[in-house]
Amino acid sequence: MPYKLLFVCLGNICRSPAAENIMNYLIEEAGFRERIVCDSAGTSSYHIGSPPDSRMSSAALQKLQIKLRGKARQFQKSDFENFDLILAMDQENYENILYLDPTGKYRHKVRLICDFCSRHNLKEVPDPYYGGTQGFNLVIDLLVDACEGLLKHLSSQDSTL
């Protein structure tokens, strides 16, 4: 049974699909495709069914030569059961996710993605939606750092990887 990761931001068109695709790229490179599965979601319903933001896609293509795939969906309570680790992009996303778990049963599954950064000291992935190219590039850099750290963390935790 593969280990399942869910990346969550607000609208699921910028940060979380970028994280999902970057992680898939790193998983593929490490030869863990059969062992780790990724998905992404948004805490809001703003963009359900939309592809990743074209500015985010451009930044990912330019910096990493990867194409962002996926369609936006909203985070569901069932995601708590279906995923082993839920990674929020910022504190607000984190709190919105935990709001759907009032008993705290799944709290141990929810983390901030930046907890896994080793080169950056930002605690949150800033939402680049209303900014320029520089913001999208920063998101890619942060997510590469966080996803590399996450992959290292998972492989040190699980000898089956």
Active-site residue 117, yes or no? Answer: no
The residue annotated as part of the active site, out of 53, 79, 90, 127, is 127
Evaluate if residue 159 carries a pLDDT over 80.
Answer: no
Evaluate if residue 160 carries a pLDDT over 90.
Answer: no
Strand order in the sheet with 85-88: 36-42, 3-9, 85-88, 110-112
Evaluate if residue 161 carries a pLDDT over 70.
Answer: no
The tens digit of pLDDT for each residue in 11-60 reads 999 999 999 999 999 999 999 999 999 999 999 999 999 999 999 999 99
pLDDT band at 157 (very low <50, low <70, confident <90, very high): confident
Closest C-alpha among 82, 61, 68, 58 to residue 21: 68
Give the rounded percent of residues in the chain with a pLDDT score beyond 90. Answer: 96
Active-site residue 127, yes or no? Answer: yes
Lowest mean pLDDT among 8-22, 67-81, 96-110, 146-160: 146-160
Q: d(Cα 45, Cα 30) in Å, to the nearest integer? A: 34
Mean pLDDT (whole number) for 98-103: 97
Active-site residue 35, yes or no? Answer: no
The residue annotated as part of the active site, out of 15, 38, 73, 114, is 15
Contact 128, 138 (CB under 8 A): yes
